[in-house]
Amino acid sequence: MQWNGSDVDNDIVNYDIYFGVNNPPSINSSGISADQLTVSVAPNTIYYWNVVTKDAAGNTSESGVYQFRVLE
């Protein structure tokens, strides 16, 4: 997965990634600094994910929950 984080002050520190087959998804990775994450998926499955962005001042912003389906 890959995303584009943004912040008014341009001081993003890290991201928390929520990913899974349930909506809302559970935490998958916390405090990562990259804007991409490799995840394992299975065919014929719907996955949900969202990203929480954290900045240097401790502020957070949360994306909406997105979904995708893996085909055969």
Residue range 29-56, pLDDT digits in tens: 999 999 999 999 999 999 999 999 999 9
- Asked if residue 39 is part of any domain, the answer here is yes
Number of domains observed in the structure of the chain: 1
Residue 22 within any structural domain of the chain: yes
Q: What is the CA radius of gyration of the chain?
A: 13
Under the banding of pLDDT at 50, 70 and 90, the label for residue 8 is confident
If you count them, how many residues does the chain have?
72
Measured between alpha carbons, how far is 51 from 71 in angstroms, rounded to an integer?
A: 23
Q: Is residue 3 part of a domain?
A: no
In a domain, residue 17? The reply is yes
Q: Is residue 53 part of a domain?
A: yes
57's CB contacts (< 8 A; 6+ apart) are 9, 11
Find, among 72, 39, 12, the residue nearest to 63 by Cα.
12
Domain that holds residue 55: 12-70
